[in-house]
Amino acid sequence: MRAITTFLGSALLALTLTSCDTEIVIGDGYAGPTLNEALASNELWYVDLNSTQGNPDVPFMTRAFTLSFDFGTLYANNNLVGVGSAGAGLGIDIGSYDAVQDNLLIHHDIDGLHEFEVIVRTFNRLELRDLFNNTRYFLDGYNRDNFNYDQLFFDNIQYFLQEYRAWEKIYTSNVGAMNGFDQENYLRFFPGNNQDIFESSKDRNGLNEGSIFWDFVGVYQVQDQAPGSINKQLTLGYDFIGNDFFDLYILDDRTIELYHLDSGTTYRFKGRGFMQLKTSQSVNSSKNRLLDFKRALKNKNITG
């Protein structure tokens, strides 16, 4: 993540070119760019899952925040830890691709071969139609110097929390009233079927993340402290004692600060066991944008 002081506050992913209704299909006789030229016209392609039509079941598409097509190598920003700096902003190498007329063949290192028909909607918007199940994905194009990595990070803090196997408490302030959360030494976060899940542990500090006994499981939510704010509020749902509310601050890519609103106590946690995401496997311990997409469809009563 870039330094918080570089945050521009501008709306993420605002299109700078006027949209048009004309569909330019590569290979239909129109004297436009080749597919390779269209893919290379932008350094980053943001995966706009909210516009997806059909069942989005291609793992690397539902995991990636951005894709980049670089002379046959496919890169992706799957993680928020290090976003903007990993791979000089392009992310990690996840496979290769071939462009044949209007067809894009992607060879993902883990997920295998997937084939898409590409339609150029505008100079910075592509539509990829999955030839296996007809699902349509939409990509918005940017260059690294006009892509707001900070906004991407702060809009998706819930995924950032899921990129470590555990968060270990490293600091408790002397200021603040005693409360039950004082005893919690570890947290971890992962997606659930209907709500995001957290677990907590009272185990002693210094344990390997695989040795921690998790005492409690509940649901969690991250919201803006104020609309559009980079400052967040974290709610941990403890069924037997009610909810705990915290102001959540990101100090760096491995450290978070929680200010307990009821007691006035400040805690700091350090991330343990970073998970670099390449595919949608291990969904119990890492971000899953597909789950959130399906929840959004359900909430909107959209079927299919």
Q: Residue 131 corresponds to which tokens in the numbers above?
A: 């030839």
pLDDT in tens, 231-266: 899 999 987 668 999 999 999 999 999 999 999 999
pLDDT in tens, 182-231: 999 999 999 888 889 999 999 999 999 999 999 999 999 999 988 878 88
Q: Residue 18 corresponds to which tokens in the numbers above?
A: 């006027």
Measured between its terminal Cα atoms, the distance across the chain in Å is 36
pLDDT in tens, 104-128: 999 999 999 999 999 999 889 999 9
28 class by beta-carbon count within 10 Å (0-12 exposed, 13-18 middle, 19+ buried)? exposed
> Which residue, 158, 109, 129, 108, is CA-closest to 55?
129
- What mean pLDDT comes out for the span 296-300? 40
Q: Mind giving me the DSSP string for 88-123? A: GGT-EEEEEEEEETTEEEEEETTTEEEEEEEEEEET
CA distance 239 to 136: 40
